[in-house]
Structure 1
Amino acid sequence: MISKATEKDLGAIMKVVDQVIEVMHAQGSFQWDESYPLVSDYQKDLNRDELYVYEELGAILGACTISNRGHEEYHLINWSEHDLALTLKRLAVSPNARGKGVADQFIEFAEELAHKKNIPHLNTDTFAENLYAQQLFKRNEFRFVQARIEDEGSELYYFEKNVT
């Protein structure tokens, strides 16, 4: 079940993040590491009332930020709509829960939030090397918007979904 995260959830969220980082690195994606995402990132999300967890039998198996704000470079991206979108950030699902549709449930939940807020789009991004995230977005009918090279040379792919 998906619900708003609380302060007491941060430790469990970071355990999931550590597991995800290990799996991502094994798969050749280095989008996340010891410098991102940090507990302080999730604390900010929590303070903004934008952090959600997926919990099953008392265990947190995933976390996702669903925000009214995009990342700092989002104004440079050729979105269909710049101001009317919810952004999926820092989606993490425990490797123990992979294949159970947890990430898909976060996307469905974000779509429901967008409908309630009368917001027509979801947007998100991932590194070019993160094939699993790209498959997730395509499976959930996100459209590729563009690629962009970051200052440190990493290539990011941007995706959006019309939810109206």
Structure 2
Amino acid sequence: MIQESITPGTKEDLGSIIDLFEACKKVLLMKGIFQWDDQYPNKEYLEWVVNEKEMYVYRVDGKVMGAMVLNEWQLPEWQEVKWSEPEGKVLILHSFCVQPSAQRTGYGGKMLEFVEAFAKEKGYAGIRLDAFSGNPSALKFYETRGYIKKGEIFISTKPLGHETYYCYEKII
């Protein structure tokens, strides 16, 4: 029987987490999707979110197959977005990824179900995230799960032509 779990990442998981993000970056770049780079998510960021207990890992039979960051931090650019509940307490989803060899297996959906249950349990009114506008698979993934596009932001630190991100929200 397959053993699956989602738990906070640990320092012992850090090597697997870094390898996961590097594998995802490589596949994105091969597809011409300049969403992640050496600046984000980098090793220092991953170490920091693990230490802050904001990194959650999806394990299958003990192996890290997915990862995501959950916290309340929002990019300054998000202030311009017309959110449904701008004053409400919301959970923010960052750095969501699934091992490239395991994509389209349902793992991502299970991770998102965890996020929604976690948000409800912790008393959040909704969930927010941003997704690179040039990543059609990610956009479809969120939209088919009830996340509503609330606006677009421009992240000037991204490569030219790859600065537009869509902001999504789901009220729970």
Same fold (TM > 0.5): yes
Deviation at 1:48, TM superposition (A): 2.2
Counterpart selection for 1:121 from 120, 123, 126: 126
Deviation at 1:4, TM superposition (A): 1.1
Where structure 2 has 5 or more consecutive residues not aligned to the other structure, the ranges are none
Letter in 1 for 2:116: E
Residue matched to 1:73: 77
**What's the CA shift string for 1:79-136, capped at 9, x where partnerless?**
1123411011001111121111111112111111111111111110011101111011
TM-score by length of 1: 0.92
Tell me if 1:36 matches 2:45. no
Percent identity (aligned): 27
Show structure 1 runs of 4+ deviating over 4 A.
none
Counterpart selection for 2:136 from 131, 141, 145: 131
Residue matched to 2:99: 94
Tell me if 1:49 matches 2:53. yes
Report the Cα distance in structure 2 between the residues aligned to 1:30 and 1:62, rounded to whole angstroms.
20
Deviation at 1:155, TM superposition (A): 0.7
Letter in 2 for 1:158: C
Letter in 2 for 1:11: G
Counterpart selection for 2:29 from 17, 25, 30: 25
**What is the root-mean-square deviation in Å for CA atoms of aligned residues?**
1.4
Report the Cα distance in structure 2 between the residues aligned to 1:71 and 1:110, rounded to whole angstroms.
19
Letter in 2 for 1:57: D
Where structure 1 has 5 or more consecutive residues not aligned to the other structure, the ranges are none
Deviation at 1:15, TM superposition (A): 0.6
Report the Cα distance in structure 1 between the residues aligned to 2:114 and 2:138, rounded to whole angstroms.
17
